[in-house]
Amino acid sequence: MPVNFRAEIEGKSLDSDDFVVIDSQGTRHTPIGAVLRPANEEGENRTVLLLGEFGDDGTNPPIEVQIVGDLLTREKHAEASAPSEAKNLKGASTKNIIPLGNGPKMFFAQMLTGKLVENPADGGQVVQVAWEGGIRPIDKRVEEKDLFKFYVIHVNENGKLIPVTPTSIADIGDYDNFHQLRIDSHHPVAKVSMAAGTVKDPNGDPNPDTEIAVTYAATTQSTVTEPGKPRAFPTRGKK
């Protein structure tokens, strides 16, 4: 079961006993393992993969995830726009479990600069987006390196949102749920979107229309996803 957070997680504080998953019959499940996967590069680390048996998607699905141990977030990177301060998430919980058959959506986006940017010498602005799980193009003729053509970045130009197509995509080929998108515009970036039916998750479910505001200021939040199906910022649950 992937659990996704807006803030980066401090890996040294992560332990399977930090979490409890509650199924629809009220049974409490403690994971047998917890790892920062699939995205564990610097500036990512927002998805915790819980290992274990957490109920059954058809008859007794998970309905809540609780953080019962001392799970810490990391302080914000100077090169990232999303604010984050080190804090203890003990006591947080979510009932936002994503149904197994739902297609993937974006759950997080922020601006990047400096060492967090792949190929920083290329110039322009770089937006990092995170999906609820790993994705790949639905059209077999489209490669991951071509997906930038299907993203739309909306910039705020004198109070009017203008759609812009990215010029390139980076952070590809590693099978995680993050992309970096580069645009030539110097205007503030407001949101990122993608039309339905462009990508699919590892279970083959196509994405719905999806858009996410680019984070310049927000509080830390968390969500969960279903086991066996990488997802994020809502959550999911399945045996």
For 96-126, write each residue's pLDDT tens digit: 888 778 899 999 999 999 999 998 888 899 9
pLDDT value for 172: 95
For 213-225, write each residue's pLDDT tens digit: 998 743 334 444 4
How many percent of the chain have pLDDT more than 70? Answer: 90
For 37-71, write each residue's pLDDT tens digit: 888 888 899 989 999 999 888 899 999 999 999 99
How long is the chain? 239
> Does residue 4 sit in helix, strand or coil?
strand
- Within 8 A by CB and 6+ apart from 18, the residues are 34, 67, 68, 69, 70, 71, 90
Residue range 179-204: average pLDDT?
Answer: 96
Cβ(2)–Cβ(36) under 8 Å?
no
* Domain parsing of the chain, residue ranges: 2-236
> Does residue 36 sit in helix, strand or coil?
strand
Beta strands in 62-120 (DSSP E): 62-67, 93-94, 97-98, 106-112
Least confident of 35-44, 155-164, 206-215: 35-44
pLDDT value for 167: 97
Question: Residue 163: which H helix or E strand, with range?
Answer: strand 160-164
pLDDT value for 40: 83
- For residue 234, pLDDT over 70 is answered with no
Q: Tell me how far apart the terminal alpha carbons of the chain are, to the nearest angstrom.
A: 9
